[in-house]
Structure formats: C-alpha cells, structure tokens
Amino acid sequence: MHYTLPGHPINTFDEEWDGELNLDYFEPFRYKSLPPKMITKLKNVDKSDPVTSLLWKKIQWQRTITNYKCIATTLKVLENYEQINEEVVQCPKHLIDIAAHLDSDPTPHFNSSYNWYYAGNGNLQTVCIDWVDYLLHSEFNKVYLSEFNKNILNINPEHVAEYDCGDENNILETIISSEHITVLRTKCKIFILKLTKIIDRITFEKLKCIKSELPYTSVAFDNYHKNILYITSLDHKLSIINLDRMKARSVQLKAKLTTLTDNWNSVVSSEKLFYVHAARDSISIYDKWSNNVVQVWKNLRKITDDYSCNDISVAKHFEGTSSLYFGTDHHLFLMDLRYGPRNNSKVVQRWTHGMECVPTYLQYCKSEFCKDLICLSSQWCEDMCVVPNYNDRLIRDTNNGGVTLPYRPPNIRNTLYGARENMLCLNPYNPIDSRICTSITGNLILDQGEKYDILLQNAFGDISCHTLFPEHLETFMEDDSGESLHKWSETYKTHDNDLEVSSIENIAGVLRKLRKMPKDHRINDDFQNQKSIFNENEIVKAFEEEEIDIGLKEAWTADVNETRVNESSNNNNLYYSDDESHSNVENTEI
C-alpha cells in the first residue's frame, strides 16, 4: 500500500556526530488506548456525507469527460470540424456536449484525493463561559453550543445556542477566541459571531459577514495579539482583521502562482513580531509590521523520501514557542522558527505517521513534564495517531534522543469488529458499517489528569472518544465499547423494508449428482471416543478408603465448566499488615 511508505524518525545532529545512536535515542510511549466509544446520540440519518459528496461529484464528472473523449476518438469527430469564419464553426453535436460538460464542473478549483476545504482547525472546539464548560460544534450549515461535562464525557443533546448560516453554506471550519468571538468559514463566506449572555440565555450575535468570489482556505486567530484574525483565500491573499474596530487590511502574499487548483494555504501566528504562511510546498515568515517576507523555506523535497506526493496539508504554531508542526502525506515535521542574520529557520525533526489519508487536523495539549502530546488525524475514520515530544526540543541535545514513534490507537471499526464477535451490532436491516465510516471533520484532545481523552467528530455530528491511559492502569480499565456501540446503533434506521427473497438458485443439477451412502461405509471412525481405561467406581472407592488425598476428589467429581475454589485455602495465603500506611493485601509463600 502507498501509505506504508518506509521512513524513520530523524532529527538534526551537530557537526561532531559520529553516526551512532545512544541507547536512549528511542523512547517508548507508555500509554495505551481502549477501542473508542460513541458519546453522542444518532442524528442526521437521512443526510449524505458532505465531505465525500464533493469527491463523488468530481469523480462522476471526470468519468463522463473520459467517456466523451473515448467516444470522440472512436467516431473521429474532429475530422468533421470546420471553421466557416471567425465567429461560426461547423462541428458534430458531440463536441458541443463535451464543451457544455466542461463548463458544468462542480468545483473548478478542486482536483484532489481528499477534501482540503475542510482542512484546518476542524469543527469541534471547547469553550468555558462563567466557569461552565461547553462544546462548540458545527454540522452542515449550523453551529451549536452544548453543555459538556468533561469528567463523565457527557454532551447535553439540548443545545444552549445555535446559528444557521443558510442553505448552500456548509461550515468548513470553526474557531473561537478567548473573548468568545466565533468565526465560521464556509466556501465563499466568513461569518463573525459573538457569544453573548443575557440573564441566563446564551445567543450568537452576528457581527459581520464577509464574501469572496474565490474560495477561502483557512481562518485563524493570532495567539499573541488576541484581537487579530487571519483569513486566507485560494489566490494567496491574506486579510488581517482587527476585531476591535472590525477593519481589515489586505496583503498579497509572495508566492509563485501557476494555478489556483488545489492551492490550499494557511496563516498562523503565536509570536509578537511575525506570522507564518504555510503553502503546499513552502513555509514563509512575514514581518507583522511591514508585511514583508523575512524568510522562505522551500526544502521540503530534500527531506522526504517520496518526491511526488509530500505536500503540506496542515500546520500549527504552538502558543508561546518557536515550534511549528506541519504535516504532509507521509510525515509530521517540527520546524524551528527562530531566525537571524546567520541562522535561518529549519526543520529539526521528522516522523512517519503511516496514515492512509492526507492529515488535515493537528491538535495538542501539555503532557508529562516538559512534553507536548500531538494528535494528528485525517478525514478517514481509521486515521489518527498520537506523538509525544519534548517541548524544549529546539534547545535540547539531540544526540541523547528521546524520540518516540507515533502511536495509532484502535479505531471505531475495531470497536465494531469486537462487538460483532460478541454477537452485537448484527441488525441485518440497518447495518451501521457505512455510518461509522463517515468522514471526520474535527478532533480535540483533553487533559484528564493521568489520562487523555481524544474526541473525533464526523460530518453527521457523531462524536467518539478515545481514552489514553498509562500502561500500569490497563488491568483496571473496563472495555465496554462494544456494548456502548450496540446501544448507540439501536436507534439507527434507514428504511422500513424487510429483507425479501429476490431469487432462488436452481440446485437441481447438484441434487442429481448426489448418491446414496452405502450402509457399510465407515465415517470418522478415527475420531470416535475411545472407551475409558479407568474404572470410576474403583477411583471413588479409593477416595473413600483414603488411599488417595481427599482434596483431589473435588477436582475429579467437578463438572467440566465448573471451577471449584477452596476459599479457606486462599485465606491461608493472605495476611494484613499491621502498618496503617499499608492497606493492601499481599501474598506470602507457605
């Protein structure tokens, strides 16, 4: 498979490195995960996946073009093409049909294997209002605010507030600032809203709506200057909006534009002096005050193993650091953004994530001491990996290593397989296989003390949860994901028709070839049970006369499926410490 492209984690070494790796270069990831569980109720059953619908329309359009070309070649229609004058031509109707179909392209600027319109921050965010936690999540053309209990992972199905962007305006990206400014990106519109609380009611207040002829590619808040919003479009045009004054400044980013097709790009910033522009094949640093280019990095093809398919698809500038993480088709990179007259920004670390689809979402949270936990996911339901890394990696001695391989937790399909092994989720009228494979539109990672919860939302609004826990807690973790998925799927109903017999195969030919078995034919004689060579009555008599240890009698007379335990013998192997600081029960040898 193409996604199994080999590659090894790498990092930069000093000039004195002799090529050897220390024993601590690779560091194990001491966390595990149970199969994910669904934590929301089923909804939007009668709708189609908006992420894959665009891909399907494009594929159908391209297939029709291919068929038209084959027919045109076979019929030699160009031989009948004649230009009468500058304004009039005579040609077969087939050429007119081809021209009309070319003009009906559903997405003229899109020709990719994944839906990059949905790439970025995703449609799942958390927000705290008056010490109460809420979940901000978008589905189709609506955004919702719902009460969220982090401790028990409970999402109230009754929404606190909602906002409708109108028909044909599916929400592609949702972000929220510390001032509760909510920004929704659709294909050609940007909605700027504000969460306001009046008495006990929370509502979305519309502040501004921005329109564009070309599609937008990303929206992001400046993590240093909190009142600044960055909006990028397909032609590498950046709009810098001051949210306090609601005024915008337009900047044409420096880039060589050969085509607008699949021209995804994004701007992020967590620094006081500069912002970062991530394009398909380059990372550019711009000065905030002059908007001039400070540095351009274009060495992506020099640090990847596959030249043709490693375009940048997601980028995240960690707040308060000079670390920029960005992902490509096969790799995750860490870039040191520090630069000066003699030193330029450079990539210092690389991982091979092994995902089957292009990564589109990157989230992180603080992990153990001096570590960050990075969560990388794509739009495919099986694609998600977790990478821990030291947050001081930029100044850390790279010769000592500390590199951890990406960990891929079980996915929702593993949950389904496990449930069916236990005879669950087997409704033949409404199978949920296609439902759980709905495209992912957002991810979120939550720090829960010793554990971490990773939420994934699909295009229908279903939210699943992975729980990462330390290895030493594995014996205490209960896996009820199969039962949870079965309960969740009970309300899934796509149609009312019962299964009917549509046809019956004619097996008369098989029946005619059958022959009657002779009576003297022996079948499976080798597997017949042999007569026991032991006389059970003699063994029972031996127990009664105490010729054999009486303790073995229970094992002899017990049923095959019955396990007999002598509780008194267990008590002899236990003692309780007199020390009050030890409350646990320990085993001793007798």
Q: 217-235: per-residue pLDDT in tens?
A: 999 999 999 999 999 999 9
Would you call 415 exposed, middle or buried from its count of C-beta atoms within 10 A (0-12, 13-18, 19+)? buried
The pLDDT score that the predictor gives to residue 580 is 45
Tens digit of each residue's pLDDT (9 = 90 or more) over 342-372: 778 888 888 888 888 999 999 998 887 788 8
The pLDDT score that the predictor gives to residue 349 is 86
Beta strands in 53-102 (DSSP E): 82-83, 89-90
CA distances from 27 to 23, 114, 365 (A): 9, 33, 19
Please check whether residue 313 is in contact with residue 359, taking contact to mean a CB–CB distance below 8 angstroms.
yes
pLDDT at 307 over 70: no
Q: Which amino acid is present at 318?
A: F
- Overall average pLDDT of the 565-571 stretch: 46
Whole-number Å distance between alpha carbons of 377 and 327? 10
Whole-number Å distance between alpha carbons of 577 and 581? 9
Band of pLDDT at residue 105, cut at 50, 70 and 90:
confident
Nearest to 254 by CA among 295, 211, 219: 295
pLDDT at 312 over 70: yes
pLDDT at 577 over 50: no
What are 308's two structure tokens?
A: 């043709």
- If one compares 516 and 59, the residue with the highest pLDDT of the two is 59
- Overall average pLDDT of the 48-75 stretch: 88
- Taken as a whole, the chain contains a residue count of 590
SS (H, E, C) 108-169: CCCCCCCCHHHCECCCEEEEEECCEEEEEEEECCEEEEEEEECCCCEECCCCCEEEECCCCC
Q: Note every long-range contact of 272-279, with CB atoms under 8 Å and residues 24 or more positions apart, other chains counting.
A: 272/224, 272/225, 274/337, 275/222, 275/230, 276/315, 276/317, 276/324, 276/337, 277/232, 277/236, 277/238, 277/253, 278/312, 278/315, 278/326, 279/236, 279/255, 279/312
Band of pLDDT at residue 452, cut at 50, 70 and 90:
very high
Strands 173-176, 181-185: pairing is antiparallel
Please check whether residue 342 is in contact with residue 402, taking contact to mean a CB–CB distance below 8 angstroms.
no
* Phi and psi torsions of 410, nearest 5°: -60, 150
Among 211-220, 292-301, 306-315, 550-559, which range has the highest average pLDDT? 211-220
The pLDDT score that the predictor gives to residue 528 is 57
Band of pLDDT at residue 206, cut at 50, 70 and 90:
very high
Task: Count other Cβ atoms within 10 Å, centred on residue 292.
Answer: 9
- Overall average pLDDT of the 168-172 stretch: 93
Please check whether residue 175 is in contact with residue 193, taking contact to mean a CB–CB distance below 8 angstroms.
no
The pLDDT score that the predictor gives to residue 575 is 42
pLDDT at 393 over 80: no
Percent of the chain having pLDDT more than 90? 43
Task: Count other Cβ atoms within 10 Å, centred on residue 174.
Answer: 23
Whole-number Å distance between alpha carbons of 498 and 478? 36
The pLDDT score that the predictor gives to residue 205 is 93
- Overall average pLDDT of the 149-158 stretch: 91
Band of pLDDT at residue 118, cut at 50, 70 and 90:
very high
Tens digit of each residue's pLDDT (9 = 90 or more) over 525-555: 665 556 666 677 777 777 777 666 666 666 6
Whole-number Å distance between alpha carbons of 42 and 329? 32
The pLDDT score that the predictor gives to residue 578 is 47
The pLDDT score that the predictor gives to residue 144 is 95
Q: Is 181 helix (H, G, I), strand (E, B) or coil?
A: strand
The pLDDT score that the predictor gives to residue 169 is 92
Whole-number Å distance between alpha carbons of 483 and 422? 9
- If one compares 433 and 520, the residue with the highest pLDDT of the two is 433
**Alpha-helix residue ranges (DSSP H) falling in 177-254:** none
pLDDT at 571 over 50: no
CATH 2.130.10.10 in the chain, residue ranges:
113-298
In CATH, 113-298 is 3.40.1080.10: no
Band of pLDDT at residue 398, cut at 50, 70 and 90:
low
pLDDT at 137 over 90: yes
Please check whether residue 446 is in contact with residue 430, taking contact to mean a CB–CB distance below 8 angstroms.
no
- If one compares 472 and 183, the residue with the highest pLDDT of the two is 183
The model's pTM: 0.80
Tens digit of each residue's pLDDT (9 = 90 or more) over 414-450: 999 999 999 999 888 888 898 999 999 999 999 988 8
The pLDDT score that the predictor gives to residue 589 is 41
Band of pLDDT at residue 511, cut at 50, 70 and 90:
confident
Whole-number Å distance between alpha carbons of 48 and 141? 13
Band of pLDDT at residue 315, cut at 50, 70 and 90:
very high
